[in-house]
């Protein structure tokens, strides 16, 4: 072979190689959404994995959490627990390799040559010229550090470190409250860290660890400081740190504590660290290490993580999708499956053989799209998530809306678990004790919680007596309309279980959203003082009521304030919130044409906020209007503006994958009405998708003429399982055992398609529960 021919052949070979299908995990880009508050996790974790080992960074204002990932220059170290699509908790057991003299709390290093992939993170710590690599299993982390030649090499452990300290003036701060460190031998450190607070204002949680290393350690030291929180101000106070040769250290306050292992390295010497984590005991941490990380094999761990993600991604296959769309969809699956966290066997509070999950953040965020998504592609997982909620109910008294660090709270809305349970119920998820589930739902609906930010339904006394939460309680508007939907969920399950009296009672209550509807309240009229007034406003909005039944001032609170009438949404969003009775909302709004005008106004006047969940269903509401085609317009523009395959590619906090799951559904072209077993068609952006719906069955979606550019975004005609589908919606039962949805897309709205029968509503003539 001549040299030239060889070059040609190599070129050909590389081209052919490039044409082979890439593994789906190669489409995962963990960086999507790390910035601008997407808060997605960077590091190694298996699906729903307890250990999330990744770097903690210095931020913009030199704190260990905050203004977005890429705003930071320096790595503080690598800790073993993190949230994803959330912030304000964890960051426990921080390990950092260094060279030279060590000043605890002042060892951060800039990084370069960084890479983040499923099951793998690597960066070079330029201050020390150390290459750091990370991987993990469910409950352990593995570190590989490649050192330069050094007479003065170290591994450091910072137990006091945790995220979200001093950021919120005491309100949602996390605190280190004490702990102990034991150098059991020159290759092992064990200990306990105790932490409290964080986003859910939780009580103390304990993290037990066993850290082992194959480094040639010659001496070990520990260190403590005084009782102040060094992160109150931007620059950590290292003046009180004392390093000693003691092999044991204990503190009982928010004071620095840690350990240093000293050794020498030759150039390119690799040092491994493996860390077993447990929420139960040091023994169990050691056990986890023995079971899951018997050797220091980072590469094997990484292969295992990738294999587990591959299995999850394998549920969705795309044809005709662009590379960008694939990156977005597969990364969205990855992000949706980061939390809640499988802590089965790691519950320090009670013994049970039931699944135990932590880090529900929060069901209020995830019940709308994440839960229906898991029900569709990972029904066993969703079953376990529901069973875990019921198990917590049985031991703690309530299903949690939110839970983190083994502590329930803070409730965002009320008992939105009711909808999550009903969604599983109407979709016939097997393996759940529905009678217990109904009990738990009724507890939500009837028993006033001691702390309305912790569990249950706040303001339930007024709601059950008067039919609405009064404005003496926070979030009384969003709570009232959500409780109505929750009550509908209870009615559904009760009806299915043959408990007609219960069903009847809660069905009656599910009308309650109407009790705060002020039909005379008008907004949206032209208020330009110099223009001729020619555009009328919209009449009828949800409005606060006083305990005596009189109207209070209309809501003008800042959107999203904790103490406002509505939570994370405004009157335009919440006034239309009754997913179980949109027919009635349309009537109240003046009929389908006026309702379409109102939705148009909402979207074109800045009242639609896809970065918070209350608006998730809003684009689909056109299905009840005279313009179902506007759903396609709104979805296309929303996806185009707020989602991308970049670091700022998630519109707001991913909320444990809520945003990501919204993206998946709306790219594939349909979206669930949570709790009701209904999907509404949107506008598929991918010509062909195949979704594994369990038991080897698949839902096959063909969208003829569809594409990323969105030009052909209007459905012209549809068939479902071979029969014409003239409505914008279908039932879960139609696809539960697989199915085929064939859509013909076009570049202008169809005059007729989708206008036959709107999706079901409680006010429909002839409506019956258990339909």
Q: Total residues at the site for a copy of itself (CB under 8 A)?
A: 57
- Restricting to residues 645-664, name those near a copy of itself by CB under 8 A: 646-648
Least distance to a copy of itself from the beta carbon of 550, Å?
Answer: 25
Beta carbons of 645 and 324 less than 8 angstroms apart: yes
Binding track over 701-730 against a copy of itself, x by CB under 8 A: ---------xxx-x----------------
Least distance to a copy of itself from the beta carbon of 740, Å?
Answer: 26
Of 143 and 630, the one with the shorter C-beta distance to a copy of itself is 630
Of 17 and 768, the one with the shorter C-beta distance to a copy of itself is 17
| Residue 26 to residues 22, 30, 39, 262, 313, Cα–Cα distance (Å) | 7, 11, 21, 38, 11
Q: Which of 19, 239, 245, 534 binds a copy of itself (CB under 8 A)?
A: 534
**Does 235 interact with a copy of itself (rule: CB under 8 A)?**
no
| Residue 764 to residues 677, 681, 758, Cα–Cα distance (Å) | 17, 20, 10
The full DSSP string for 468-492 is: S--TTSTTHHHHHHHHHHHHHHHHH
Site stretch for a copy of itself (CB under 8 A), options 145-153, 285-293, 629-637, 691-699: 629-637
**Does 122 interact with a copy of itself (rule: CB under 8 A)?**
no
The SS3 of residue 549 is coil
Q: Which of 110, 348, 397, 590 binds a copy of itself (CB under 8 A)?
A: 110
CA distance 201 to 715: 47
| Residue 222 to residues 18, 99, 159, 189, Cα–Cα distance (Å) | 52, 17, 11, 10
Query: Cis link prior to 89 (omega < 30° from 0)?
Result: no
Beta carbons of 89 and 198 less than 8 angstroms apart: yes
**Does 604 interact with a copy of itself (rule: CB under 8 A)?**
yes
Least distance to a copy of itself from the beta carbon of 532, Å?
Answer: 4
Site stretch for a copy of itself (CB under 8 A), options 168-176, 192-200, 254-262, 334-342: 168-176
Question: What secondary structure letter does DSSP report for 708?
Answer: T
- Restricting to residues 351-390, name those near a copy of itself by CB under 8 A: none
**Does 530 interact with a copy of itself (rule: CB under 8 A)?**
yes
Of 1 and 353, the one with the shorter C-beta distance to a copy of itself is 1
**Does 168 interact with a copy of itself (rule: CB under 8 A)?**
yes
**Does 12 interact with a copy of itself (rule: CB under 8 A)?**
yes
CA distance 446 to 415: 11
Cα dihedral sign for 704, 710, 714, 720?
positive
**Does 9 interact with a copy of itself (rule: CB under 8 A)?**
yes
**Does 644 interact with a copy of itself (rule: CB under 8 A)?**
yes
**Does 17 interact with a copy of itself (rule: CB under 8 A)?**
no
**Does 414 interact with a copy of itself (rule: CB under 8 A)?**
no
CA atoms within 13 A on the CB side of 178: 5
Q: Which of 1, 3, 170, 239 binds a copy of itself (CB under 8 A)?
A: 170
- Restricting to residues 562-601, name those near a copy of itself by CB under 8 A: 563, 600
Q: Which of 269, 404, 300 is nearest to 343 (CA)?
A: 404
The SS3 of residue 665 is helix
- Restricting to residues 30-49, name those near a copy of itself by CB under 8 A: 35-36
| Residue 341 to residues 33, 86, 385, 622, 661, Cα–Cα distance (Å) | 20, 13, 10, 36, 17
Residue 79: both structure tokens together: 């800790």
The whole-angstrom distance between residue 371's C-alpha and the CA centroid of its chain comes to: 10
CA distance 753 to 628: 9
CA distance 705 to 684: 10
Of 88 and 191, the one with the shorter C-beta distance to a copy of itself is 88
Least distance to a copy of itself from the beta carbon of 10, Å?
Answer: 10
Least distance to a copy of itself from the beta carbon of 148, Å?
Answer: 18
Binding track over 537-566 against a copy of itself, x by CB under 8 A: --------------------------x---
**Does 528 interact with a copy of itself (rule: CB under 8 A)?**
yes
Site stretch for a copy of itself (CB under 8 A), options 140-148, 165-173, 280-288, 507-515: 165-173
Of 72 and 470, the one with the shorter C-beta distance to a copy of itself is 72
The SS3 of residue 555 is coil
Question: What secondary structure letter does DSSP report for 20?
Answer: S
**Does 695 interact with a copy of itself (rule: CB under 8 A)?**
no
Of 426 and 663, the one with the shorter C-beta distance to a copy of itself is 663
Of 299 and 709, the one with the shorter C-beta distance to a copy of itself is 709
Beta carbons of 441 and 418 less than 8 angstroms apart: yes
Q: Which of 151, 45, 142, 156 is nearest to 109 (CA)?
A: 156
CA distance 353 to 281: 18
Residue ranges that bind a copy of itself, judged by CB under 8 A = 5, 7-9, 11-12, 15, 35-36, 60-61, 66-68, 70-71, 73-74, 110-112, 114, 126, 168-171, 526, 528-535, 563, 600, 604, 630, 633, 636-637, 640-641, 644, 646-648, 710-712, 714, 746-749
């Amino acid at each position: 072979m001549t040299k030239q021919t060889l070059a040609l052949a190599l070129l050909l070979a590389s081209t052919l190689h490039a044409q082979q299908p890439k593994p789906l995990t190669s489409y995962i880009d963990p960086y999507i959404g790390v910035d601008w508050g997407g808060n997605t996790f960077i590091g190694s974790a298996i699906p729903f994995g307890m250990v999330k080992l990744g770097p903690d960074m210095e931020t913009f204002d030199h704190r260990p959490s905050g203004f977005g990932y890429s705003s930071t220059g320096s790595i503080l170290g690598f800790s073993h627990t993190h949230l994803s699509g959330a912030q304000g908790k964890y960051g426990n057991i921080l390990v950092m390799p260094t060279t030279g003299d060590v000043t605890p709390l002042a060892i951060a290093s800039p990084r370069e040559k960084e890479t983040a992939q499923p099951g793998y993170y690597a960066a070079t710590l330029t201050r020390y010229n150390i290459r750091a690599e990370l991987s993990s299993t469910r409950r352990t982390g593995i570190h590989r550090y490649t050192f330069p030649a050094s007479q003065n090499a170290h591994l450091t452990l910072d137990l006091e470190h945790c995220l979200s300290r001093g950021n919120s003036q005491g309100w949602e701060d996390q605190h280190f409250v004490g702990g102990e460190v034991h150098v059991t031998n020159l290759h092992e450190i064990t200990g306990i860290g105790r932490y409290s607070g964080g986003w859910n204002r939780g009580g103390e949680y304990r993290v037990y660890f066993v850290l082992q290393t194959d480094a040639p350690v010659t001496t070990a030291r520990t260190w403590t400081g005084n009782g102040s929180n060094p992160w109150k101000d931007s620059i950590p106070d290292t003046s009180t740190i004392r390093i000693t040769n003691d092999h044991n250290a204990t503190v009982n306050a928010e004071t620095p504590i840690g350990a240093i292992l000293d050794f020498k390295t030759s150039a390119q010497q690799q040092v491994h660290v493996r860390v077993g984590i447990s929420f139960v005991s040091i023994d169990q941490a050691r056990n986890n290490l023995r079971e899951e990380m018997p050797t220091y094999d980072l590469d094997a761990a990484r292969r295992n993580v990738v294999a587990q993600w591959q299995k999850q991604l394998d549920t969705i296959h795309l044809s005709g999708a662009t590379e960008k769309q694939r990156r977005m969809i597969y990364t969205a699956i990855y992000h949706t499956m980061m939390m809640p966290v499988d802590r089965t066997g790691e519950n320090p509070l009670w013994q049970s053989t039931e699944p135990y999950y932590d880090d529900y953040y929060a069901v209020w965020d995830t019940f709308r799209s994440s839960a229906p998504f898991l029900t569709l592609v990972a029904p066993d997982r969703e079953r376990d998530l529901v069973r875990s909620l019921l198990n917590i109910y049985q031991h703690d008294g309530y299903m949690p809306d939110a839970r983190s660090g083994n502590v329930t709270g803070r409730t965002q809305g009320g008992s939105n678990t009711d909808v999550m349970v009903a969604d599983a119920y109407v979709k016939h998820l097997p393996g759940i004790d529905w009678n217990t589930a109904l009990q738990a739902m009724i507890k939500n609906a009837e028993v006033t919680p001691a702390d309305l930010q912790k569990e249950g339904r706040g303001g339930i006394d007024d709601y059950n007596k008067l039919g609405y939460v009064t404005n003496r309680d926070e979030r009384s508007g969003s709570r009232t309309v959500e409780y109505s939907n929750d009550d509908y969920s209870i009615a559904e399950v009760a009806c299915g279980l043959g408990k007609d009296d219960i069903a009847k009672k809660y069905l009656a209550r599910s009308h309650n959203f109407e009790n705060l509807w002020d039909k005379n309240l008008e907004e949206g009229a032209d208020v330009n003082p110099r223009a001729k007034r020619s555009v009328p406003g919209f009449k009828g909005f949800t409005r606060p009521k006083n305990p005596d039944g009189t109207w209070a001032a209309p809501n003008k609170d800042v959107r999203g304030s904790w103490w406002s009438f509505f939570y994370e949404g405004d009157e335009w969003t919440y006034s239309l919130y009754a997913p179980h009775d949109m027919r009635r909302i349309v009537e109240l709004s003046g009929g389908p044409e006026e309702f379409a005008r109102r939705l148009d106004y909402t979207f074109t006047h800045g009242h639609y906020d896809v970065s918070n969940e209350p608006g998730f269903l809003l684009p689909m509401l056109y299905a009840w209007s005279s313009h179902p085609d506007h759903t396609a317009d709104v979805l296309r523009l929303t996806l185009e503006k707020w989602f991308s395959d970049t670091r700022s590619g998630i519109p707001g906090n991913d909320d444990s994958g809520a945003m990501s799951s919204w993206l998946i559904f709306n790219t594939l072209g349909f979206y669930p009405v949570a709790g009701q077993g209904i999907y509404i068609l949107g506008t598929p952006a991918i010509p062909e998708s195949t979704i594994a719906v369990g038991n080897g069955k698949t839902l096959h979606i063909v969208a003829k003429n569809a594409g990323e550019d969105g030009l052909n975004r209007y459905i012209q005609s549809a068939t479902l399982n071979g029969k014409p589908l003239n409505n914008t919606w279908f039932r879960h039962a139609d696809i539960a055992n697989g199915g085929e949805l064939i859509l013909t897309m076009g570049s202008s709205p169809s005059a007729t398609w989708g206008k036959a029968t709107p999706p079901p509503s409680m006010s429909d003539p002839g409506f019956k529960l258990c339909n």
